[in-house]
Structure 1
Amino acid sequence: MSNHRRAQIAGGIFFFTVVTYERTPYLADESAIQILRAAFAKVKTARPFEIEAIVVVPDHLHCIWRLPTGYDDYSGRWREIKKAASRQLDPVTNLRNERPVWQRRFWKHVIRDEEDWRRHMDYIHYNPVKHGLVRGPIDWPWSSFKKAVAKGWYDPAWGSDEPGHIADLELE
């Protein structure tokens, strides 16, 4: 039995990295993204949370969630999202009756303050550029960057060069 303990902060804001099993590019096309969107929507209906930022690349995703006041169960939400998406992304089960679509765990960081939130927002939106998938965040279709631009949080040309304050972050 694991002694791993997770920070439980009711109504908290959290940064997550969720990786596919063995970095298999399950999330590389529009149909996979639609499956993932449907899984998020299903879980958000039953167990609300707000997605403040998200990016999905072929083998992982990053996001920032804000949980409702009084709620702290992000692990259960991730379990349900992974289960719902896995059923459609890979119908084959292993000997343990699992669909090996996701790594078993996920990486979590509690957002501490506005500066920490901004740094993680920038990391999320710059991620497709970091991985050489596009020249600028505005060009990646599976990101919240365009919504953030519409809110006035970013200039559309932001991210053509790596922001210095995220250069030392390694969140994968």
Structure 2
Amino acid sequence: MRYRRVLEPGAYYFFTLNLEDRTQSLLIENIEILRRVYLKITKRHPVNTIAIVIMHDHLHAIWQLPKGDSNYAMRWRLIKSEFSRQILPGEFCKQSRLHKGERGIWQRRYWEHKIRNEEDLDNHINYIHYNPVKHKYVTKVSDWPFSSFHGYVKNLKLPSTWGSDNKLNNMYDE
């Protein structure tokens, strides 16, 4: 069965990418490598990163693709493979991956969702920024260093206290 993705040039997309071994913290442990790879690939193949959060074992991002371009799969493939090549080996790898010359770092698939409208976009931005609190890594959104939330505060799009009210706790902790 072939997985069917929605491909619309210039659209906004929400993504979730997971490590194969969700008990690992490779993304945080290698955050500088991930940042360098992400910037290199998105410079060569531009996207507008609307929001992003890097967690221990997964990341969420919202991209706006350039007009006339819908190839987000190529960008994620390059980011995942370049990151994998730059970190030390040591992860468990299934035989099926070894036969294909792959490493066992990332789950093969990822979740994508085409953003439907402004409300959907706002909801997904909020979800991304609140994710470290949801996973109980921090008690305040502002305490998580690997998030675009800090850019939103710097650009006066959100107050530094955003996410501290019970309304968000109830929405995203379920």
Deviations 1:36-73 (A, max 9, x none): 11111111122111111000010000010011111000
Give 1:66's match in structure 2, choosing from 64, 67, 70.
Answer: 64
Q: Normalization by structure 1: what TM-score?
A: 0.89
What are the ranges of 5 or more consecutive residues in structure 1 without an aligned counterpart?
none
Identity of aligned residues (%): 44
Q: Is the 8 A contact 1:89 1:101 kept in 2?
A: no
Match of 1:20 in 2: 19
Deviations 1:1-56 (A, max 9, x none): x3211000001100000001121221233xx1111111111111221111110000
Give 1:116's match in structure 2, choosing from 114, 120, 123.
Answer: 120
Q: How far 1:91 moved relative to its partner?
A: 3.0
The residue identity in structure 2 corresponding to 1:132 is K
Q: How far 1:152 moved relative to its partner?
A: 2.0
Q: Indicate the larger mover: 13-22 or 150-159.
A: 150-159
1:50 aligns with 2:54: no
1:3 aligns with 2:2: yes
Q: Is the 8 A contact 1:125 1:145 kept in 2?
A: yes
Within 5 Å, which residues of 2 pair with 1:88-103? 88-91=86-89, 94=93, 95-96=98-99, 97-103=101-107
Q: 1:36 to 1:162 in 2, by over 3 A?
A: farther
Give 1:38's match in structure 2, choosing from 23, 36, 39.
Answer: 36
Match of 1:157 in 2: 161
- Cα distance in 1 for partners of 2:20, 2:88 equals 11
SS of the aligned residue for 2:139 comes to: coil
The residue identity in structure 1 corresponding to 2:49 is I
Q: 1:168 to 1:136 in 2, by over 3 A?
A: closer
Q: Normalization by structure 2: what TM-score?
A: 0.88
Q: How far 1:168 moved relative to its partner?
A: 6.1
How many pairs are equivalent?
A: 167
What's the RMSD between the two structures over aligned residues? 2.0
1:147 aligns with 2:145: no
- Cα distance in 1 for partners of 2:170, 2:73 equals 26
The residue identity in structure 2 corresponding to 1:27 is L
What are the ranges of 5 or more consecutive residues in structure 2 without an aligned counterpart?
none
